[in-house]
Structure 1
Amino acid sequence: MTTGSEHHAATTSEQHSPGSRQAVIFDLDGVVVDSFAVMGEAFSLAYAEVVGPGAAPFEEYQRHQGRYFPDIMRIMGLPLEMEEPFVRESYRLAHQVQVYDGVVDVLRMLNERGLRLAIATGKAGERARSLLGVLGLLPYFAHVIGSDEVPRPKPAPDIVRRALELLNVPADRAIMIGDAPTDLASAHGADVTAAAALWGCHDEIGLLAAGPDIVLQRPADLLVLCPVVPAVHGAEPTELCPNGRSRRLGD
């Protein structure tokens, strides 16, 4: 029997020629890292500090996952002053964030196959790069882009378009992996293949209703869609630096 993910992958393979794919753009939370326990604790502490006693509405916060934190506060009608303690506690608890099983192997394999990788996250860029550094993942990514580093955050396409620009890859040669409808909307708006990551998703029905081009059940499914990138004649080999930026060998 063909699963939903196999059906979506097969359909997209025929339409988008995965052999020509050169780059993968990842959302961060819910795709690369499982940060929800830490996020929930930071949100509760920030709520208590700014709003006061009572249950913090973290479940509602999760429904807006993928958006920039100040935008979520506006949508929920919560004080923007919650951002400072939320960010402070997120930095303090960063070492408790977990990397999803299989992700490191997939990132390593994609790098070895010659694909260029980027993060396009609802987090601020500095905090995203700090977290990836704490977890030892930063060297896998050529670029890490935060919502504060583009004119309009997700669901606008700006952050995906910025990733394409930095990676120097056309839209039809890239794929965006996300766990929230805002991720898929951002990818679609940039004319990039949108893949739904189910392993960290908290609302599978809502994510599938957002119309992903591909459905991935586990991180390793991505490898089927991203074979080795053919070497370009005359191109110099590159390697990743510790800060997550790429450089030509010999530089």
Structure 2
Amino acid sequence: MAIRGILFDKDGTLVDFHKTWHAIGDRLALEAAGGDRGKANDLMELAGYDFEAGRFRGDSVFAAGTNADIVALWYANAPQDEHEARVRHFDAVTAAEGARSAVPLDGVLDALRDLHKRGYKLGVATNDSEGGAKQTIQAIGVAHLFVAAYGYDSVARPKPAPDAIEAFCALTGFAPDEIAMVGDNRHDLEMARAGRAGLAVGVLSGTGTQERLAPLADVVLSSVRDLPAYLAG
């Protein structure tokens, strides 16, 4: 069946992951370390930051996980009530600061406008919070192009589970094989496979590599900016 709806990951797919998130992650790590710079660096590395390369590793906790995952990693011995409070704090900080710092990837906004004009129904499926997703697409000026924005807290199970695809199908009335899932990490493509999406698209604009994405993808593109031409062709 023809593709009618497209779900996009957010960070590394629509916005520049490293330009948007390094400073925010570092701030939260320094907070978790009680102001100790060395310990904060250790926490950043634990969450997936490669200091030698100056970037986050693909499929790492910070690149592909949820705020709850990061809190569990950095505050491993926290009791449940503190864990929940920390997650709420992380959600609030990352939603506000992620939107304020969001840097759209080159050519992506034009591509989204093109796809919307062609009649595709567009959605966001991210392991950031729903608030973070909505605030970011509002901040970069494309919220009106999307019919849905799903965060890890919007569904019972976040990526790589298929819940966001199932929710998008329920909203649009499309069958799973009419949906394309686009993302820069294996979690995105694993969700596409689990949800029986009609098209799994890997993009190299974030933290993922050709070698890691290709085994799960139907196609690997350099960026979302190449998607309109691919779908047209």
TM class by smaller structure = 0.7 to 0.9
SS of the residue corresponding to residue 64 of structure 2 reads coil
Superposed CA deviations along residues 169-191 of structure 1, whole A, max 9, x for unmatched, are 11111110011011111110000
Map of 1:45 onto structure 2: 27
Contact 2:20 2:103 in 1 (8 A): no
Whole-angstrom CA distance in 2 between matches of 1:179 and 1:74: 23
Q: How does 1:86-235 map to 2 (within 5 A)?
A: 86-90=90-94, 91-92=96-97, 94-192=99-197, 193-209=199-215, 211-227=216-232
Contact 1:28 1:121 in 2 (8 A): yes
Map of 2:72 onto structure 1: 74
Aligned length: 209
Q: 1:137 to 1:198 in 2, by over 3 A?
A: same
Whole-angstrom CA distance in 2 between matches of 1:42 and 1:201: 17
Q: Shift of the alpha carbon at 1:127? A: 1.8
Tell me, yes or no, if structure 1 residue 23 matches structure 2 residue 9. Answer: no
Contact 1:46 1:85 in 2 (8 A): no
Identity among equivalent pairs (%): 26
Whole-angstrom CA distance in 2 between matches of 1:88 and 1:75: 18
Q: Shift of the alpha carbon at 1:102? A: 0.8
Whole-angstrom CA distance in 1 between matches of 2:73 and 2:229: 38
Which ranges of structure 2 fall in alignment gaps of 5 or more residues? 49-55
Whole-angstrom CA distance in 2 between matches of 1:68 and 1:99: 21
Larger radius of gyration: 1
Whole-angstrom CA distance in 2 between matches of 1:75 and 1:166: 34
Map of 2:52 onto structure 1: none
Q: Shift of the alpha carbon at 1:165? A: 1.6
SS of the residue corresponding to residue 6 of structure 2 reads strand
Q: Shift of the alpha carbon at 1:224? A: 2.9
Could you tell me which amino acid in structure 2 is paired with residue 145 of structure 1? Y
Whole-angstrom CA distance in 1 between matches of 2:86 and 2:29: 7
Q: TM-score with structure 2 length normalisation?
A: 0.80
Contact 1:66 1:180 in 2 (8 A): yes
Tell me, yes or no, if structure 1 residue 57 matches structure 2 residue 82. Answer: no
Contact 2:121 2:147 in 1 (8 A): yes
Whole-angstrom CA distance in 1 between matches of 2:86 and 2:27: 9
Whole-angstrom CA distance in 2 between matches of 1:70 and 1:146: 12
Could you tell me which amino acid in structure 2 is paired with residue 124 of structure 1? S
Which ranges of structure 1 fall in alignment gaps of 5 or more residues? 1-16, 229-251
Q: TM-score with structure 1 length normalisation?
A: 0.74
Say what the alpha-carbon RMSD is for the aligned residues: 2.3
